[in-house]
Structure 1
Amino acid sequence: MPKLSYLKALNRALGDEMNRDPSVFVLGEDMNLALTNVTAGFLDRFGPDRVIETPLSEQGFTNFATGAAMAGRRPVIEFQIPFLLLLVFEQIANQANKFSLMSGGQHAVPVTYLMPAAGWRTGWGAQHSDQPYSIFAHMGVKTVMPATPADAYGLLTTAIRDDDPVVFFGPLASLGVREDVDFAELAPIPLGVGCVHRKGTDVTVVAIGHLVHDAIAVADELADEVSVEVFDPRTLHPFDWTGLAASLEKTGRLVVIDDANRSCGLGGEILATAAEEMRLIAPPRRVTRPDGAIVGASPELDVALQPTREQLVTAIQRVLKYGGDAA
């Protein structure tokens, strides 16, 4: 069975949708150079009318994409570094995401904002290492962050076909992940549907993005001591609360590992919703970046700020100290 990398899955999904639907086009900076490799080969395949090199004016071409979408096209904007999404936050959250409601459903705005390199890596720099996905989820923008190549293919396909704006985060740490796939079975994946990567009965670990792979490794490491269920939401908004509730019905214990800052992060929202509405027999815990963390200042400090497998093991051990049945 052939292997598919995460990065190649993005390339394949975008290319397949451009082949399928002539209204789909891609725009952004360095498109002609395919700097991130997401659009590798596209200029020759689709030509400059559908692979559009833009000026260094993110707010300008993001608004351009909104207008193109309202006129019947399906733009995909590629942003190379996460902070660029903060430059265009108003254009996405306050304009594109509200036009359908404000027009009484008369205008759809099917724009996909593709961020194929979210998060931190050595040397990425303080202004390039943020994880702003919680901000978009907070504002009600459809937000996805798949962890595996097959999910990246399926969710990018769905995002492009969706009639609403969708922000797609591809974690830097997942870009090199490869998995065996049957290309004939690659298919769209519905938004708002999570998946269980590893079944368990003692504790549910909700892992976001590339941390899914760390959670699976920890579950394997602890297999002789504890049965860990690894739940991947895949879509951060809408979130699969039904899937999480089903998992907690079995385990009653919850740990979230989230590669974003602690305060006002998605990890805190998951814990709060579970505490309000779901079966818990122990206080839940979260593993995140520290409060107000600014990553990208020095290599040693950067490493110290990242959520780790060791922290996840400690959190799992702490929730296991509590027993009994839910009230």
Structure 2
Amino acid sequence: MHRTYSMRQSRAPTASQLQNPPPPPSSTKSGRLFGKGGLGHAIRRQTAGQFGPDLAKKLSQLVKMEKNVMRSMELVGRERMEVAQQLSIWGEACDDDVSDVTDKLGVLLYEIGELEDQYVDRYDQYRVTIKSIRNIEASVQPSRDRKQKITDQIAQLKYKEPNSPRIVVLEQELVRAEAESLVAEAQLSNITREKLKAAYTYQFDALREHCEKLAIIAGYGKHLLELVDDTPVTPGETRAAYDGYEASKAIIQDCEDALTNWVTANAAVSSKLSTRARTLSQRRRNNIQRNGEGHDLSGQDAPLNDRESGLWVPASAHKGEEYEDEDEEEEEEVGAPSIQDSTVNGETRGRQETVVA
């Protein structure tokens, strides 16, 4: 929160951050050729999935669309902070109680903007994990293409030269290609399920923390509103002097402590399954455990040392050049607004944006 009203002069890690260290800043926060507007959104949306292997096109489009979502959330966070500043500036000229409460409400709204910024970083964990599935799909495509190419060659030879000795050679290559494709498809299936669960676990955990903290701020915001005297007065009547400065600061401090000490184990909202849903879910888990004795195919059918065979390679060895530069396609944005503290009439009031003409 704003350091004027915070008992902490530096932002120490919260309990949630100690339990689950925050990820690095989102890749969408730097490098923008098209600025903050909708042009970049439209270009990403229209070009997503038009290039690259067919198998990865649909997921590539999803990844690009999620990039648009993250950019929009960044914009919401920044504008929330600007709104908080403006509320504090407006309240400066009001009566003492309204001035104090609007300033403290600005502190809470500014905190919401910072939470939005932190949520974007955690949301990027989900998006990066989904991208890894897309890269695996791209690496599997060559094995499918090779098998289809050999199949077409065999069919063509059987039609034009039924007695050609090359048919036997191609059929042997097809057997190897089918074995390699079987390994690739099994690995794709395994990795897709693993990464899908991990990706949406990131997203739902981040969403849960974000929403719980928003609810905390909303609750303390309503406590602040109780400090405003809204009883009607008659013309010429003077309201009692405002004496809620210490109370408002205490409310801000309590809110800050609640946000700092929040951990997932103390979440107020829990999702409870009905008896039927719980029974069916348990049955499904039991079936998975009972049928979970799978086979490791990673060592089966070792690739041949034939550089022209087009063998499938794991995703770790697949460069995927058509994708790797996706997040570097935009140059660094110039003229981004900076948020600083301001002093109004000798008193620190909210946060003031440095306007770039």
TM-score where L is the length of structure 1: 0.23
Name which structure has the greater RCO, CA cutoff 8 Å, separation 6+.
2
Instruction: Name whichever structure is richer in strand by fraction.
Output: 1
